[in-house]
Amino acid sequence: MSLALARKYRPRTFASVAVQSHVAGTLKGAIARGRVAHGYLLCGPRGTGKTTLARVLAMALNCEAKRDDGEPCGECPSCTRIWSGNASLDVVEIDAASNRGVDDARDLRERAQYAPSGDDRYKVYIVDEAHMLTREAWNTLLKVLEEPPPRVVFVFATTEPQKIAQAAAPVLSRLQRFDLKRIGPADVRARLVDVLALEEITAEPEALAMLARAADGSMRDALSLTDQVLAWGDGTLTAHRVREALGLVPEDETLALFDLVLDRRAGDVFAAIGRLADNGIDFNVLLTDVGDVLRAQLALTLGGTPPELSERMRTALEARKGRSTAADLVRMLTMLVELEPQFRRSAHQQLLLEMLLVRFALLDRTLDLEAVLKGLGNPVGPPAFGGGEAPRPAAPRSASTARDPEPARSAAPVLRDVAVGGGRTAVAERAVVSEAPPRAPAGPAPRAAVAPPAAADVAAPAVATMPAEINRLAEHWDDIVDAVRRSGRGTLASMLDHATPQAVAGNGTVTLAVDTDTHGEALTQASELVLAALRTRFTGVTRLAVKAGNAAPMERLTEENVRDRRVAQLRKRDPILDAAIDALDLRLL
């Protein structure tokens, strides 16, 4: 009976171990120079050559025809027995997953005291899955690892070295550690080409690429999967045979799902996934393929080159390059990555995948927070969502404007310092430019000449204006917030509701205090709208200054907290009461 490809083509020398030249070269040099350590720890993903390197090391230490550079011959009886894993007096392989207790470690320690079978030979103990050993077992081995008998070498192989560090950190300082690399698809393909050539089998390049991607960095898995596909039938190794034998999702099906997302056909997702479910598709494989398509499309959109992509898939994605933005693709990939841990262990994978694709298809209906914040300070209209911009009716002209041929003035906010917090202040100043000197008004200045045209929809009901003063401003602050909310700008009203008037300077600068830098930046961007709302009730308001402090930490809601907040609200609304509470030490009953 023939051997499996993974066993038949297992390397016999250091030079034939794929990719791990940094480890193989070091071990070979140690043997050639007589500097062999008493303990080694080989770490790395599965199927990358940990046990193979351990066996080749044992072969080289006990080879009957060893070369001067430290390479074993691979053909002598000793090398053949060790390579095949058969019984050897001097090389012992132990599976720590089934021999993990303190008694097993004690037995290993006692066996290590016996000398090798010859004066020129080494006893080599290969412990696979070493992270499965218990803390007590490691403590039992600690002494023999510190002071091993002559010509005894321990080789530990593990995929999870962090578990050894947690269970027995002192052991790591007694061993030489080597980290093996994950084998890339290109190296896997090159090895498969050599193996299939020796087997006299031809293969399509796309079939080799599919096997390399399915191996996921493991050379042993790549050879095992190739064996599985070869058992499917005779002749050339084709992409169709690979897809049928491994249960992979056809590229056309993945592209069809991607087209549903690009065309925003959320309702067709359920029928498409249901059809794939009826065909027995593995949803884990399908989710991985969807992620690969999004990743490749993002690379093409950004002008990069996606690796390991078939020519047919590359051409299809190039044709779809202009139908999605890089930002949308990043959001899709983020949602997919967040779902993946839950998806792998869920009993409702079909439902989760359907909901994910529906969210992808409805991505154009989401709102961008940055656009919302920018829209608060947009002087010409509301923020545009979904690519459209709604026009705003023009502000009505005042009577004086209609009969006055004076050139129009332009008003725009000038941000003197955008940053807030940490003692810095964001000041929005209204710069007025006129082509002709202003004429003295015949009567009280109409409100339309004071408020900027962009804020016409924030105007409050007609009330008598009054000079800006901190007490009056605090008294009427809630009325100003209500007027802004009635005008349809609920977000701005909510931010103003969390702001507190702090001062009114002689030059007309109104200072507001907010809790967070985020509120401060948003109010600064919407400064013209805030100024327009203030000018509907107060005269002499010229600028807006926003001071932000650190946000207060979350506190537990108690009766005392509620009372304190109520007192704070009363202080905010009435400066006289605020002063009386401090002077008379009043408290709320």
User: Is the torsion defined by CA of 487, 488, 489, 491 positive or negative?
Assistant: positive
Chain segment 221-236, per-residue pLDDT in tens: 999 999 999 988 777 8
Are residues 309 and 339 both part of a single domain?
yes
Are residues 323 and 456 both part of a single domain?
no
CA distance 589 to 585: 13
Are residues 325 and 458 both part of a single domain?
no
Q: What is the pLDDT of residue 52?
A: 92
Are residues 170 and 39 both part of a single domain?
yes
Q: Please list the residues that pair with 503 across neighbouring strands.
A: 511
Chain segment 238-251, per-residue pLDDT in tens: 888 898 888 888 88
CA distance 69 to 12: 15
CA distance 187 to 193: 10
Does position 202 have pLDDT exceeding 60, yes or no? yes
Q: What is the pLDDT of residue 429?
A: 37
CA distance 26 to 122: 18
The closest alpha carbon to 53, from 207, 156, 135, belongs to 156
pLDDT band for position 367 (cuts 50, 70, 90): low
pLDDT band for position 262 (cuts 50, 70, 90): very high
Does position 587 have pLDDT exceeding 90, yes or no? no
Q: What are phi and psi of 224, to 5 degrees?
A: -65, -40
- What's the mean pLDDT in 30-43? 92
CA distance 529 to 373: 13
Residue 382 lies in a domain: no
Round to the nearest angstrom and report the end-to-end CA distance of the chain: 93
Are residues 31 and 173 both part of a single domain?
yes
Distance of CA 172 to the CA centre of its chain: 32
Average pLDDT, the chain: 79
Percent of the residues in the chain that have a pLDDT greater than 90, as a whole number: 30
Does position 434 have pLDDT exceeding 60, yes or no? no
559 token code pair: 């009766």
Q: Looking at residue 263, which CATH number applies to its domain? A: 1.20.272.10
**Structural domains of the chain, count:** 4
Task: Give the end of a domain, one of 158, 179, 200.
Answer: 179
Q: Are strands 91-95 and 176-179 parallel, antiparallel or unpaired?
A: unpaired
Which is higher by pLDDT, 378 or 214? Answer: 214
- What's the mean pLDDT in 278-295? 91
Q: What is the pLDDT of residue 247?
A: 83
Q: Beta-carbon neighbour count of residue 227 at 10 Å?
A: 14
Are residues 318 and 169 both part of a single domain?
no
Residue 121 lies in a domain: yes
Are residues 161 and 21 both part of a single domain?
yes
Does position 347 have pLDDT exceeding 80, yes or no? yes
- What's the mean pLDDT in 308-316? 84
What is the residue type of 298?
L
Are residues 104 and 233 both part of a single domain?
no
Does position 390 have pLDDT exceeding 70, yes or no? no
Residue 574 lies in a domain: no
Query: Which uninterrupted H or E stretch holds 522?
Result: helix 517-525
Residue 173 lies in a domain: yes
Does position 140 have pLDDT exceeding 80, yes or no? yes
Q: What is the pLDDT of residue 147?
A: 86
The label of the residue with tokens 């390397």 reads 11
Residue 441 lies in a domain: no
CA distance 355 to 361: 10
Q: Looking at residue 223, which CATH number applies to its domain? A: 1.10.8.60
Are residues 28 and 164 both part of a single domain?
yes
What is the residue type of 440?
A
What is the residue type of 151?
R
Structural domain of 194: 185-246
pLDDT band for position 495 (cuts 50, 70, 90): confident
Residue 311 lies in a domain: yes
- What's the mean pLDDT in 404-408? 41
Q: Are strands 500-504 and 152-158 parallel, antiparallel or unpaired?
A: unpaired
Are residues 167 and 310 both part of a single domain?
no
The closest alpha carbon to 498, from 523, 462, 533, belongs to 523
Residue 239 lies in a domain: yes
Note whether 226 and 211 are within 8 A (CB).
yes
Does position 86 have pLDDT exceeding 60, yes or no? yes
DSSP 8-state secondary structure symbol assigned to residue 69 = T
Note whether 20 and 180 are within 8 A (CB).
yes
What is the residue type of 468?
A
Does position 271 have pLDDT exceeding 80, yes or no? yes
Q: What is the pLDDT of residue 226?
A: 92
Does position 217 have pLDDT exceeding 50, yes or no? yes
Are residues 78 and 167 both part of a single domain?
yes
Are residues 483 and 530 both part of a single domain?
yes
Residue 556 lies in a domain: no
The closest alpha carbon to 333, from 281, 386, 292, 285, belongs to 292
Does position 527 have pLDDT exceeding 70, yes or no? yes
